[in-house]
């Protein structure tokens, strides 16, 4: 028996991600996650002998799956801390699918003067909250950027970032060509792209088939690699191919 509209709306309110978590032949579209996280505050510490980074992070699953911190985002954050301030200090950085903004905030805490954290409109509130919680409004800007749509160009922004960051952005097949399009729109063959990926579904292969047409990649050298490989996470450095 199908649910009527009012019941559907009630269920959506109680569990906004339920449609994405229904399984198809290849498993659930997004992984199971606790949907009871509402407006919580956590403190994440990334240890390092010379530059410990501490981030206060508001998390809230209400606006969508990006409202909580995902393991690939933590892996990418730890990698930035390992690379240290000199890696980010003279770069402009744009993060795609930032969710809470964690990775971009870590880059700013390390001293990057110009970071855009970007995502879809429902995530802008939590990204802005996290910018303010960490006193980073001088260096970090939250911007709406929907993959596959034209890149926004507010006045104070670098349209071609030196470094693009993306963590856990491969999970929903209809967005695969859109994400590749946006990576391509934002980059040249000299742009660095750090792409942290968690393998979940066989269908993810289709993303890499599309990506291969425009980009090459290799695993980055990271002393922690053996740890996160066990969780099916890879940290890739992407380069845009030169046009023939």
Ligand X SMILES: C[S@@+](CC[C@H](N)C(=O)[O-])C[C@H]1O[C@@H](n2cnc3c(N)ncnc32)[C@H](O)[C@@H]1O
Query: Which residues of this chain interact with ligand X, rule CB under 6 A?
Result: 64-66, 69-70, 72-73, 97-99, 102, 119-120, 123, 146-147, 167-169, 175, 178
Give me the least distance between CB of 72 and ligand X, in Å please.
5
Distances 54 to 15, 51, 78, 128 between C-alpha atoms, Å: 31, 10, 11, 17
Nearer to ligand X by Cβ, of 26 and 50: the residue is 26
Contact 58, 41 (CB under 8 A): yes
Contact 127, 101 (CB under 8 A): yes
Give me the least distance between CB of 148 and ligand X, in Å please.
7
Q: In which region does residue 84 sit, left (phi positive, over 0), alpha (psi from -120 to 50) or beta (all else)?
A: left
Give me the least distance between CB of 16 and ligand X, in Å please.
12
- 3-state SS assignment for residue 183: helix
Contact 162, 91 (CB under 8 A): yes
Nearer to ligand X by Cβ, of 64 and 161: the residue is 64
Nearer to ligand X by Cβ, of 49 and 53: the residue is 53
- Facing residues of 59 across strands? 40
**Cα separation, 136 vs 112, whole angstroms:** 10
Give me the least distance between CB of 141 and ligand X, in Å please.
16
User: Comparing C-alpha atoms, which of 87, 91, 147, 85 is closest to residue 115?
Assistant: 91
Give me the least distance between CB of 9 and ligand X, in Å please.
21
By beta carbon distance, the residue nearest ligand X is 66
Nearer to ligand X by Cβ, of 10 and 121: the residue is 121
Nearer to ligand X by Cβ, of 199 and 241: the residue is 199
């Amino acid at each position: 028996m199908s649910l009527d509209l009012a019941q559907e709306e009630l269920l959506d309110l109680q569990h906004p991600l339920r449609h994405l978590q229904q399984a198809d032949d290849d498993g659930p579209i997004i992984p199971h996650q606790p949907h009871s996280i509402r407006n919580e505050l956590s403190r994440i510490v990334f240890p390092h002998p010379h530059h410990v980074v501490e981030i206060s992070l508001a998390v809230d699953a209400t606006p969508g799956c990006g409202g909580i911190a995902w393991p690939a985002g933590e892996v990418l954050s730890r990698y930035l801390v390992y690379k240290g301030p000199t890696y980010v200090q003279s770069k402009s950085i744009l993060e795609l699918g930032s969710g809470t903004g964690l990775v971009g905030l870590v880059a700013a805490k390390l001293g990057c003067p110009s970071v855009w954290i970007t995502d879809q409109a429902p995530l802008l509130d939590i990204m802005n909250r996290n910018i303010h919680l960490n006193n980073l409004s001088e260096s970090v800007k939250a911007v709406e950027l929907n993959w596959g749509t034209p890149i926004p160009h507010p006045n104070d922004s670098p349209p071609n970032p030196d470094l693009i960051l993306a963590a856990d952005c491969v999970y929903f097949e209809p967005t695969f060509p859109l994400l590749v399009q946006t990576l391509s729109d934002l980059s040249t063959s000299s742009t660095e792209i750090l792409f942290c990926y968690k393998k979940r579904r066989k269908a993810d292969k289709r993303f890499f088939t599309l990506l291969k047409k425009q980009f090459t990649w290799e695993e980055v050298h990271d002393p922690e690699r053996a740890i996160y490989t066990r969780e099916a996470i890879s940290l890739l450095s992407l380069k845009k191919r030169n046009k023939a």
